[in-house]
Structure 1
Amino acid sequence: MIDIPRRADGGIDFNFRPQTPEQMFYCLQDAMWRVCSGALYKIMIKGDNDEDVLVQEFKPNAAQMRLIKRLWYRNIILKARQLGFTTLICILWLDHALFNADTRCGIIAQDKEAVQKIFRDKVQFAYEKLPDVLKNAMPLARSNASELLFGHNNSSIKVATSMRSGTIHRLLVSEFGKICHMFPIKAAEVVTGSLPAVPKNGMVVIESTAEGQDGDFFNMTQSAKKVKELGRKLAQKEYRLHFAPWFDEPHYRVNPDDVVMTDKDHKYFDELEAKLNVSLDLQQRAWYVSERDVTFSGNPQKMWQEYPSFVDEAFQVSKEGCYYAEQMTIVRKQGRITTVKYTQGVPVNTFWDIGSSDGCGIWLHQRVGLQDRFIGYVEGWGEPYAFYVKKLQTTGYVWGKHCLPHDAGHVRQGQVANTSPMKMLQDLGLRDIVIVNRVQDLQQGIQITRDVLVGDVWFDATECKEGIAHLDGYTKSWSQHRGTWSDEPLKNIHTEGADSFRQFPQAMAQGLLNVKVIPKSTQRGRRGGWMS
């Protein structure tokens, strides 16, 4: 019997280093020792003063160890920045591929640059730094800029922006919040193509910082949070939520003598301590304030997003920079987000925005008496105009005016011929199209939108859910130079939804809407009269 020191759980002591082939054989049977001892895997890190890259044995920190112990078949990690979770999962996946035959491990990153960096600095680097005896026993059958295929067991690890073909036994989706926020089409591919490629007994890890209250990452996180709060046993395909706040990182500390902290800052930390039952010392508080004020120019929302203290804070939106925060608060207080049904005999107007980033948002509106009722919202990314026409056509509504933005009459590059969005929609059978002229000043358009929101505007809570989220999330961009909100809107997933709604007050102001009730005697003949 070989004498090897053991951990309390029976595994091999992480500090043990094998001296003989027999000892190495026994150590390699223990997956936790392989990953956590630092004897096999090395990583790249920056020095304390951001000097040249250093090579360090990989030994999981406290937050990483907690994650390892709680890993489930399906996992969502909502995290603060730079806690090393991507590195950890890359090591776990590499280890799984090296020591299990015929397995496929995949990592999805947000763009090609991230793919190259993760593969080069985390996957390939860790393999190349393996002890020579292991690397010789586990040679590469193939290696390229994004994949390693191992010759000894036909397993592989790959990094890409999408994975749809074949079975993936281990899948990491890195920065999924950013993918959902910046590349909604790619996010849809992940949900419909990549995630289903993982078998029931495989493992998925989705990790990201937050990116606002929209998209699949937000929705999946909220679902996992609800299950966690219920405290019930998870089904294999349900996601376990892992949350890592900024104060989990012991190095997030600076000298408080070098940082100016206000009473408001201390009130925030005091409330956190009471809410979360934690203790935040002066060095931690000083680090947080310094990071907020120096790195993010005082922007609190960026800190909530990148260094959250609790789950809900990560998705919290600062009302300071939101264009319609005050008005939407009034709408809610007055109960104007409720059930708003289609009223027969009243034409439905549509208000469009056709984004340059392949996004399209459409609001459906009826004027009933003096009320402006929004009964639906349609959106999509990368879809042809026929997709939206079909969506509208299936409602069977009687149509009023279709209000398109000012540039819808401009010729755009087409696949077959150069034509305008307006002409393409007309060719699909859309009638009564009007062009809403551009306002001279965007702030003027935003102001008249604020004015109508505090008027008699009503929203159906279910059918307009996504559109309402866009109005809530439509925000000013943050000026790093001035350390304040600028007058320019932030271009993001909320842009098309907010811009399409703005067509409504602009169309009203320009007298483009004829408000009329269709007589019941003619209504039956016109119902669903899309081509009329």
Structure 2
Amino acid sequence: MALRVSSDIPLQTMPTTAEELERCLADPEWRLFSGCLYKIMVKGDDDDEEAEAMVMPFQPNRAQRRFIKRLWHRNLILKARQLGFTTLIAILWLDHALFNANQRCGIIAQDREAVEAIFRDKVRFAYDNLPDEIRERFPLARDSARELLFAHNNSSVRVATSLRSGTIHRLHVSEYGKICAKYPDKAAEVQTGSIPAVPTNGVLVIESTAEGREGEFFEMVQQAEAKYQSKQELTPKDYRFHFYPWWEEPKYRLPAGSVPISIDEHEYFDRIEGVMECTIGPEQRAWYIATRNADFTGKEERMWQEYPSTPAEAFQISTEGNYYAKDMPAMRKRGGITRVPVLDLPVNTFWDIGNSDGCAIWFHQDLRGEDRFIDYYEAHGEDLRHYVAQLQARGYVFGTHFLPHDANHKRLGDYNRSTMEMLQILMPGQRFIIVPLVTELMTGIHATRKHMKGCYIDEANCKLGIQRLEGYRKKFSRADQRFIDQPDKSNGCTEGADSFRQYAQAKETGLLSSSAYSYDYDEAPPPDWRV
């Protein structure tokens, strides 16, 4: 790819005397903001894939300046795409290593290709393009494909998929959400090995777009945002929350009127303006709709992930491999996740009893054919007596308990009884039904998608169950670098999703039907329960 120097951004004049140069080099603000020292490579905006890249002086943009101003010991960035944070931090780390002795600066990327690209195009490129007289001051003691070690002060900048050894004075974890989603073992290694290597007086930056509602990144964002909202004073061990939505970026604009925008879409932007106390103008709205339609074929959930308008919206989607990536956002959009009060009706339960030690139960009511989920419970490492006690404590009048097919299998042990037989002993007089096994998982998935379209789930009592449905995903094959059609059991979502699937399979086979029960209602219909 050919390179050319952009001529439309004026460069500030370099110092003309040795004294001026020394004074400037001693000033971190001049080094980072003047545009005289560091250069970056930026892809052109032309549609042609062969478009030349541009070499430009590095001068922080609006989002980058805001981040530098708010920099803390530990930083957590939730962001829209293409705001240049990896570039910014590569320059910050290089600058720190050049001008401070015995410092170890590192960047962790999700895979080998990302490591090579960040090191080559950001760290090494910025060093190679220093002014000649400046670069001569900072010779290399070691120059590898992933690390620069400087001879003049023994400081270094390294890019890798993992950094564990020794002290890391500056650490950046790039796209940590993707690491958590695709490489949970690597995420655990970052959490237990790399992050503790940063001393209290060091600087740690973790940044990513969102990748679903489970994993370390999601949990860290939840905690950091809660402290930000409560204006809690931070210790050096606490993470400062940084959020950079798409609508703050000045370049995300298209001519007003160039894209048709529906009434519903305008209502969405108006709602965001109210929530975030911002203004989203016609040019910004045009850009958003055009980007969603062109880059993501109209998929709202992908825009929420890559270009979030609010912190909550960033996690309103699931990863690419999630089974219900389209269905859960659709349910939220139609108001299917809401407050669902308990009515004076029988309560059905749908169970999944995991092969290891987990059990999940959904609590359901049928209101004249309308499926309403009022509660959810799961636990691990407990016996059946624990779950029976949980059911009894809720005080519901139960209708039918729907159990998975393997609940009818006798288990070797002291009593040689099946799960259903043991439950019948613990809950005498209750009605139990075994939901037949489906030979293909996708048959049950399709049935679940079908019946999701009409059900309602309580957003408070079923909060964890909703997270399980949104986090239910396929296993990611590192060998093939793609998702395969097998459930990923590493994130704890399978029991909750499988127990909900028992509902859909019972519905599909006619085991769950409002005609199976006879309810007496007052002449007047019940009040509208949707709130």
Structure 2 counterpart of 1:351, one-letter code: I
Q: Across the two proteins, how many residue pairs are aligned to each other?
A: 440
Superposition deviation, residue 45 in structure 1? 0.2
Structure 2 distance, partners of 1:259, 1:204, is 41
Of the candidates 320, 327, 332, which is equivalent to residue 321 of structure 1?
327
Superposition deviation, residue 203 in structure 1? 0.6
User: Is the Cα–Cα contact under 8 Å of residues 301 and 326 in structure 2 kept in the other structure?
Assistant: no
User: Is the Cα–Cα contact under 8 Å of residues 350 and 365 in structure 1 kept in the other structure?
Assistant: yes
In structure 1, the residue corresponding to 2:136 is in which secondary structure? helix
Superposition deviation, residue 439 in structure 1? 3.1
Query: Which runs of structure 2 are paired with 1:334-345 in the superposition (5 Å)?
Result: 334=341
Match of 2:240 in 1: 240
- The TM-score normalised by the length of structure 2 is 0.69
Superposition deviation, residue 240 in structure 1? 0.8
Superposition deviation, residue 289 in structure 1? 0.7
Q: 1:377 to 1:468 in 2, by over 3 A?
A: farther
Q: Deviations over 1:23-65 (max 9, x none)?
A: 1111111111111111111100012215211111000011111
User: Is the Cα–Cα contact under 8 Å of residues 79 and 209 in structure 1 kept in the other structure?
Assistant: yes
In structure 2, the residue corresponding to 1:220 is in which secondary structure? helix
Superposition deviation, residue 208 in structure 1? 0.9
Superposition deviation, residue 491 in structure 1? 7.7
User: Is the Cα–Cα contact under 8 Å of residues 327 and 452 in structure 2 kept in the other structure?
Assistant: no
Match of 1:515 in 2: none
Which stretch has the larger CA shift, 309-318 or 18-27?
A: 309-318
Which stretch has the larger CA shift, 188-197 or 72-81?
A: 188-197
Q: Deviations over 1:79-110 (max 9, x none)?
A: 11111111101100111111111111111111
Q: Deviations over 1:229-260 (max 9, x none)?
A: 11232111111111111122211111234312
In structure 2, the residue corresponding to 1:189 is in which secondary structure? helix
Superposition deviation, residue 310 in structure 1? 2.0
Q: Deviations over 1:203-222 (max 9, x none)?
A: 11111111222221111112
Structure 1 distance, partners of 2:126, 2:216, is 31
Q: Deviations over 1:110-134 (max 9, x none)?
A: 1111111111111111111111122
Q: 1:111 to 1:313 in 2, by over 3 A?
A: same
Structure 2 distance, partners of 1:57, 1:238, is 34
Q: Deviations over 1:486-514 (max 9, x none)?
A: xx99989686355543675699899xxxx
Structure 2 counterpart of 1:471, one-letter code: L
Superposition deviation, residue 438 in structure 1? 3.8
Match of 2:25 in 1: 28
1:294 and 2:291 are equivalent in the alignment? no
In structure 1, the residue corresponding to 2:354 is in which secondary structure? strand
Structure 2 distance, partners of 1:292, 1:323, is 15
Structure 1 distance, partners of 2:266, 2:362, is 49
Of the candidates 38, 47, 53, which is equivalent to residue 44 of structure 2?
47
Of the candidates 336, 340, 358, which is equivalent to residue 333 of structure 1?
340
Structure 1 distance, partners of 2:404, 2:103, is 53
In structure 2, the residue corresponding to 1:284 is in which secondary structure? helix
Which stretch has the larger CA shift, 315-324 or 137-146?
A: 315-324
Superposition deviation, residue 141 in structure 1? 1.0
Match of 2:94 in 1: 94
1:469 and 2:463 are equivalent in the alignment? no
- Unaligned runs of 5+ residues in structure 1 are 1-13, 337-348, 354-359, 379-390, 406-424, 477-487, 511-532
Q: 1:99 to 1:502 in 2, by over 3 A?
A: same
Superposition deviation, residue 280 in structure 1? 2.5
Which stretch has the larger CA shift, 47-56 or 23-32?
A: 47-56
Structure 2 distance, partners of 1:207, 1:125, is 22
Q: 1:500 to 1:459 in 2, by over 3 A?
A: farther
Match of 2:354 in 1: 352
User: Is the Cα–Cα contact under 8 Å of residues 324 and 471 in structure 1 kept in the other structure?
Assistant: no
Superposition deviation, residue 154 in structure 1? 0.9
Q: 1:38 to 1:95 in 2, by over 3 A?
A: same
Query: Which runs of structure 2 are paired with 1:380-419 in the superposition (5 Å)?
Result: none
1:363 and 2:370 are equivalent in the alignment? no
Q: Deviations over 1:435-479 (max 9, x none)?
A: 984435734455379879999x99997xx9765511244489xxx
Q: Deviations over 1:324-358 (max 9, x none)?
A: 9489957962469xxxxxxxxxxxx86337xxxxx
Of the candidates 376, 380, 395, which is equivalent to residue 378 of structure 2?
376
Q: 1:105 to 1:436 in 2, by over 3 A?
A: farther
User: Is the Cα–Cα contact under 8 Å of residues 468 and 497 in structure 2 kept in the other structure?
Assistant: no
Q: 1:372 to 1:52 in 2, by over 3 A?
A: closer
Structure 1 distance, partners of 2:473, 2:25, is 53
Match of 2:519 in 1: none
Structure 1 distance, partners of 2:138, 2:167, is 22
Structure 1 counterpart of 2:243, one-letter code: F
Q: 1:330 to 1:19 in 2, by over 3 A?
A: closer
- The TM-score normalised by the length of structure 1 is 0.69
Query: Which runs of structure 2 are paired with 1:55-66 in the superposition (5 Å)?
Result: 55-66=55-66
User: Is the Cα–Cα contact under 8 Å of residues 365 and 372 in structure 1 kept in the other structure?
Assistant: no
Q: 1:21 to 1:286 in 2, by over 3 A?
A: same
Structure 2 distance, partners of 1:323, 1:73, is 36
1:180 and 2:187 are equivalent in the alignment? no
Structure 2 counterpart of 1:496, one-letter code: T
Structure 1 distance, partners of 2:171, 2:374, is 47
Q: 1:75 to 1:436 in 2, by over 3 A?
A: farther
Q: 1:241 to 1:372 in 2, by over 3 A?
A: closer
Structure 2 distance, partners of 1:221, 1:64, is 19
Match of 1:10 in 2: none
In structure 2, the residue corresponding to 1:219 is in which secondary structure? helix
User: Is the Cα–Cα contact under 8 Å of residues 375 and 460 in structure 1 kept in the other structure?
Assistant: no
In structure 2, the residue corresponding to 1:258 is in which secondary structure? coil
Structure 2 distance, partners of 1:373, 1:271, is 29
Query: Which runs of structure 2 are paired with 1:225-236 in the superposition (5 Å)?
Result: 225-236=225-236
In structure 2, the residue corresponding to 1:173 is in which secondary structure? strand
Q: 1:120 to 1:265 in 2, by over 3 A?
A: same
Structure 1 distance, partners of 2:234, 2:62, is 24
Match of 1:111 in 2: 111
- Unaligned runs of 5+ residues in structure 2 are 1-10, 319-324, 344-350, 364-372, 389-402, 421-434, 475-484, 510-531
Structure 2 counterpart of 1:321, one-letter code: D
Superposition deviation, residue 268 in structure 1? 2.1
User: Is the Cα–Cα contact under 8 Å of residues 43 and 52 in structure 2 kept in the other structure?
Assistant: yes
In structure 1, the residue corresponding to 2:59 is in which secondary structure? coil
Structure 2 distance, partners of 1:468, 1:257, is 38
Q: 1:322 to 1:125 in 2, by over 3 A?
A: same
Q: 1:328 to 1:451 in 2, by over 3 A?
A: farther
Q: 1:233 to 1:503 in 2, by over 3 A?
A: closer
Q: 1:33 to 1:331 in 2, by over 3 A?
A: closer
In structure 1, the residue corresponding to 2:207 is in which secondary structure? strand
Structure 1 distance, partners of 2:266, 2:449, is 38
In structure 1, the residue corresponding to 2:213 is in which secondary structure? coil
Structure 1 distance, partners of 2:336, 2:44, is 47
Structure 2 distance, partners of 1:459, 1:269, is 24
Superposition deviation, residue 273 in structure 1? 2.9
